[in-house]
């Protein structure tokens, strides 16, 4: 009898008791709005911003309603205007081009390599077509950030980082989100900390921070921010910046603060699971694991592998057989967008030029979440199942 996995790929851990208690205290107070604070009380949201900025060594931090809102706020705050072109990854998820569309701008997609990072050769060729790069560290894969920043700095292209999958990760010792002008994070349930919905952005630039704060819906209460710039930074911004409400509230901030304190331990737990799957998959005929670079300190909250140059029928057969044994894989090559997974050419509100080399990579990507409700033993079992089914289909094809 072949082994079957019984776990649930979308079941996250419960919220820690300490966070539940903090949330209950906020609810008992009735002061859920971030600016509804008692005299002398900083409020959970301002404290969260202060703590997250401290964690990343950032001067400023702003908490908002979602990761997508953090990105569109960042784009607007760095000066992206309707009709502008914004460079971004062809391999990412729908909220990334969506954030570009939200400010009336147009994405210009940059290709993906077999290491699942942005193709720096393609980027270099396209750098002159835009003033801003929205760099998505998709599925936690971090490109050579030193080279990327050197290219963008030389071309005068400002970098906004989408760190939805890299909270807790770093490149060459620099936290993800701290290379570009702005780093954006999500605290949505499927990311590295869980408040249902939520987002954070960090920057060292006082003007960007002031505009972002106004944009988030601060009214004229920006002096209540513990991790914001001084009021002098608002001299112009308070007149020039629309209020596009999308604040974080004290309830969600209360849930997040204890989770931030244990982020490092959570990241280590993800990586133990990631390595268990990777070790189990390595050497499977027809399957390519995604190699990581030494400078990359990643967070393995999901894992990807490639079935390069397989026919679609073979891949869908692998998906079917794994699913029958309880292992849910997502395929980025599917022509039809499904669930959370879609491809750059399915975002039809924006034009895209064909990218054959990237299409070949996208067609080969299989993707799997690794929630912390899975044990390391579960992960080894999952790898055995994938290995067996990929091998079987590969041999049948040969």
Enumerate binding residues for ligand PLP (CB under 6 A).
66-68, 92-93, 95-96, 136, 138, 162, 164-165, 186, 188, 199
Residue with the shortest CB distance to ligand PLP: 67
Of the pair 199, 286, the CB lying nearest ligand PLP is at 199
Question: How many C-beta atoms surround the C-beta of residue 219 within 10 A?
Answer: 11
CB-based contact 299:167 (threshold 8 Å):
yes
Which residue(s) pair with 183 in the sheet?
161, 202
Which residue(s) pair with 304 in the sheet?
367
> Closest distance between ligand PLP and the C-beta of residue 42, in Å?
24
> Closest distance between ligand PLP and the C-beta of residue 68, in Å?
3
Of the pair 310, 332, the CB lying nearest ligand PLP is at 332
The 8-class DSSP code of residue 306 comes to: E
Closest by CA position to 184, among listed 116, 231, 132: 132
Of the pair 96, 201, the CB lying nearest ligand PLP is at 96
CB-based contact 36:251 (threshold 8 Å):
no
Strands 170-171 and 296-297: antiparallel
CB-based contact 79:196 (threshold 8 Å):
no
> Closest distance between ligand PLP and the C-beta of residue 89, in Å?
9
Of the pair 134, 254, the CB lying nearest ligand PLP is at 134
> Closest distance between ligand PLP and the C-beta of residue 313, in Å?
29
Report the distance separating Cα 397 and Cα 287, nearest Å: 13
Of the pair 136, 358, the CB lying nearest ligand PLP is at 136
Of the pair 284, 301, the CB lying nearest ligand PLP is at 301
CB-based contact 272:290 (threshold 8 Å):
no
Of the pair 95, 229, the CB lying nearest ligand PLP is at 95
How far from 233 is each of 42, 56, 118, 159, 229, CA to CA, in Å? 21, 22, 34, 21, 6
> Closest distance between ligand PLP and the C-beta of residue 225, in Å?
21
Report the distance separating Cα 5 and Cα 246, nearest Å: 40
Of the pair 142, 393, the CB lying nearest ligand PLP is at 142
> Helices marked H in the chain — which ranges?
17-29, 44-56, 67-77, 95-102, 120-126, 145-155, 206-217, 234-240, 250-261, 263-281, 312-324, 356-364, 376-397
> Closest distance between ligand PLP and the C-beta of residue 342, in Å?
12
Burial of 1 (0-12, 13-18, 19+ CB in 10 A): exposed
Of the pair 87, 96, the CB lying nearest ligand PLP is at 96
Report the distance separating Cα 269 and Cα 152, nearest Å: 34
How many residues does this entry show for the chain? 398
């Amino acid at each position: 009898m072949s082994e079957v996995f019984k776990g649930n790929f979308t079941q996250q851990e419960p919220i820690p008791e300490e966070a539940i208690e903090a949330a209950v205290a906020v609810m008992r107070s009735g002061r859920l709005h971030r600016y509804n604070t008692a005299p002398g009380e900083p409020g959970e949201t301002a404290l969260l911003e202060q703590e997250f900025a401290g964690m990343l060594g950032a001067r400023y931090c702003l908490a908002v309603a979602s990761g997508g809102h953090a990105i569109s706020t960042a784009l607007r705050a760095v000066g992206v205007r309707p009709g502008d072109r914004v460079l971004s990854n062809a391999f990412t998820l729908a909220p990334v081009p969506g954030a570009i569309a939200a400010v009336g701008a147009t994405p210009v997609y940059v290709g993906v390599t077999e290491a699942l990072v942005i193709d720096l050769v393609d980027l270099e060729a396209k750098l002159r077509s835009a003033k801003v790069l929205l760099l998505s560290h998709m599925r936690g894969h971090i490109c050579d950030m030193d080279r990327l920043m050197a290219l963008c700095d030389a071309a005068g292209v400002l970098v906004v980082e989408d760190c939805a999958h890299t909270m807790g990760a770093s490149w060459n010792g620099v936290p993800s989100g701290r290379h570009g002008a702005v780093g954006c994070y999500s605290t949505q349930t499927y990311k590295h900390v869980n408040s249902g919905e939520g987002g954070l952005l960090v920057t060292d630039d006082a003007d960007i921070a002031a505009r972002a704060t106004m944009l988030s819906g601060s009214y004229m209460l920006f002096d209540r921010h513990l991790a914001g710039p001084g009021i002098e930074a608002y001299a112009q911004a308070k007149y020039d910046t629309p209020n596009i409400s999308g604040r974080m509230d004290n309830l969600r901030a209360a849930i997040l603060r204890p989770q931030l304190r244990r982020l490092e331990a959570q990241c280590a737990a993800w990586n133990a699971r990631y390595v268990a799957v990777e070790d189990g998959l390595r050497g499977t005929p027809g399957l390519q694991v995604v190699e990581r670079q030494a400078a990359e300190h990643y967070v393995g909250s999901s894992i990807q592998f490639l079935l390069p140059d397989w026919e679609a029928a073979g891949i869908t057969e692998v998906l079917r057989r794994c699913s029958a044994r309880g292992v849910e894989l997502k395929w980025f090559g599917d022509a039809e967008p499904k669930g959370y997974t879609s491809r750059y050419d399915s975002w039809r509100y924006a034009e895209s030029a064909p990218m054959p080399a990237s299409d070949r990579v996208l067609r080969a990507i299989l993707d799997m979440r690794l929630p912390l409700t899975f044990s390391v033993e579960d992960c080894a079992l999952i790898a055995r199942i994938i290995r067996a089914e990929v091998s079987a289909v590969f041999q049948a094809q040969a």
